[in-house]
Structure 1
Amino acid sequence: METNQSIRLAVEESIQFLEHEPNFTMNHGGYTRQKWDGAWWHMAALYEMGEVKRIPHSAIERAKKLLKNQVWRTFIITPEDHPTSDSDKMKMDCCHCELAVYYMILMGYGCDLDKELPWIREWLLEHQLPDGGLNCDPEAYTHSRKSSIVSTLPPLEAILWHTNREFTEQEAHFLDEGARYLIEHRLVCSKQDGSVIDMEWLKPCFPRFFEYDILRGMSFLAEWSRRRNKPLPVELFSEGLERLNTSKAEKGLRIGRQVFDPQGPWGGYTFPLLEAVAGIGVVSPYLTKQLDRVIERMESEHLNARLK
């Protein structure tokens, strides 16, 4: 859904960039993500906008080649997990949320990664912690055993949004446990004292890439409830919508922050499309559409409750 001329032009510029400058390059002895202006970020922005099909096929093929040949297929937790050969040491070491975003882009485009790269889905399913989430910090698997909400959402979304068949028992368990984790944390809260873990999560963010906000959590739970035929936590959603009131405008939901904020921890170079769709205070049609789906799911749940 493109809303104005500047976005349309920026989309075309990203398409041209992906066709001619894929930017899957070597840097400092290994592959680099070129945050925020490399190929993956252009592709991820287009995916989140619902424009994934406009990514050039040549870029998709290069991306798959990178994942096939230049990624270390083990999440490094212990010393034994490290690559040993010189060629393997040159490979990218991915984390859960990063790998899940890559997976969603390519699956959204129409690739069958479960046939071409089955290890990615297996990776995501295998790294769930006992509390129901995941963590991109390896120490969580050897010490705290506690998950990160930020690390958890992309893997959950990858399985939920990109499984066009009945879920396997393992997948259903993965999604249900992930939903439990989010519900127990009331989307944004500490289980210990109920306080909001990060006040920035209350500000809608677009595009998110791997970042978290409360609407992202609500969107997952709404679709999980529908796909898994599970009760929607209506009280929790009412609380979530109240938390979003300050970001609502007459025409939709306003963007509250930028994941690439130059003053924040992830500051860096950007690109025109990212700038065009991420203006703070601007009503985002993409976030508004997501909010509308959440509200529609709540209304459906209320209707079903009355009919019972």
Structure 2
Amino acid sequence: MSPREQLLRERLSRIPAPQVAPSPAVQEALADTERYLGSDAALRSLVQDPYWPKWHSPWWHMLLLLELGEAQRIPQRTLHAMSARLEAMPVKCFPIAPGELPPGMDLHRDTLCHCAVASIVQVLAAGGLDVDRALPWAKPWLLRYQMADGGLTCDNDAYRVSGECPSSMVGTVSPLEAMLLGDPAGWSAAQRAFVDRAAGFLVGRELRRGSATVHNAEERSREPLWLRVCFPRFYFYDVLRGARVLVRWAELRGAPLPLEAVEAVALHLCEAFPDGVVRPQRQAYEGTGTLAPDAAGTWTRQPASRFPLLEATSAIGEPSPWLTRHWTETRQGLLRLLDAGRLRARS
């Protein structure tokens, strides 16, 4: 091992692997979410819209259960209702060119973005559905919209930009997570190429750098935020989320990783959480607005609502069992890669 590799190994090995139990408030809130998802109110919400409003609607309750490792709590009738509602959506593409969005269709309510497709693929799979059968267009969607640098973006206009590739971290991380599902032996050549190229995108960004493009210059201002971990993530990004999926890719694919891709982030996380216990440092969902029906049934922009499980699991500064587990898994994966000689400095 090089001195840098040895240093990283020593720092990673020094961190303990603590067990953090969910609080009683989380247990109560889990039961509340399970009751809600089994209710007629949740089904009525799905009929109105599968995605909106944020955050108190079936989509976000289900996605939070996924992040908690509790997807088995999603009632099967609600899981199947979500799948059927998505299959019935009138537009199953990401409109880019003029005319791709049919007349009378709403860009925000009648189609999805890549983050949404990738997130719900993970939810349905964790709930036990055969996603390829239930939503046969979902994986081809992600394959179709991968950009030249291996990333994706949920900015429709970015696909019409010439001379640069304004992909985004947020638009790439959940598609990579989704496409890493299942037995790699059963992946198609296209799926293998997708995950390798998306991982290459994260490597090139070193898990922490915003876009160097003009079109997506705003992303560079988010770099300091990405260093502060959050929970839940939903479609948001932080460096622990990026490191976790990149390590998973390297281990599933038996692929090498350049040390430079993860070194700064791993050392930052060692410094931030020396006892191995990870505490949320921000609430990424804070201040987000939503589309929701008003009293007359008209969909308008409104403040987003919260629900007990969201509040109970996102408290800033409180030990997070889920982030702590993610950091432990990622740290152990990095150590395995180092010991196998697959996490090496380029020079």
For residue 273 of structure 1, what is the aligned residue in structure 2?
309
Asked if 1:296 is matched to 2:314, the reply is no
Paired position in structure 2 for 1:33: 52
> Which residue does 1:176 correspond to in 2?
196
- TM-score, normalised to structure 1's length? 0.89
Cα distance in 2, alignment partners of residues 87 and 196 from structure 1: 33
- Across the aligned residues of Structure 1 and Structure 2, the Cα RMSD in angstroms comes to 2.5
Q: Does 1:101 align with 2:123?
A: no
Change in Cα spacing, 1:116 to 1:19, as seen in structure 2 (3 Å) is same
* Code of the aligned partner of 1:55: I
Unaligned runs of 5+ in 1: none
1:261 matched to 2:266? The reply is no
Contact 1:203 1:244 in 2 (8 A): no
Spell out the pairing of 1:9-158 with structure 2 (5 A cutoff).
9-20=28-39, 21-22=41-42, 23-26=45-48, 33-84=52-103, 92-143=110-161, 144-158=164-178
**Alpha-carbon distance in 2 for matches of 1:31, 1:251:** 37
Contact 1:49-1:286 within 8 A present in 2 as well? yes
Paired residue for 2:265? 240
Structure 2, gaps ≥5 residues long: 1-19, 214-219, 291-302, 343-347
Cα offsets for 1:97-119 (capped at 9, x unmatched): 01111111001111001022110
Q: Does the 8 A contact of 2:184 with 2:252 survive in 1? A: no
**1:16–1:292 CA distance, 2 compared to 1 (3 A):** same
Q: 1:198 aligns to what SS in structure 2?
A: helix
Pick one of 214, 219, 227 that aligns with 2:244. Answer: 219
TM (norm. structure 2) is: 0.80
Point out which structure has higher relative CO (alpha carbons under 8 A, 6+ apart): 2
* Counterpart Cα distance in 1 of 2:38 and 2:179: 29
Give the secondary-structure state (helix, strand or coil) at the position aligned to 1:81.
coil
Question: Are the equivalent residues in 2 in contact too, given 1:107–1:162 (CA < 8 A)?
Answer: no
Q: Which amino acid aligns with 1:102?
A: I
| CA deviation after TM superposition for structure 1 residue 165, in Å | 3.8
Secondary structure (helix, strand or coil) at the match of 1:212 reads coil
Aligned residue pairs total 300
- Aligned residues: percent identity? 31
Q: Deviation per CA, 1:46-78, whole angstroms, max 9, x where unpaired?
A: 010000011111110110111111251011111
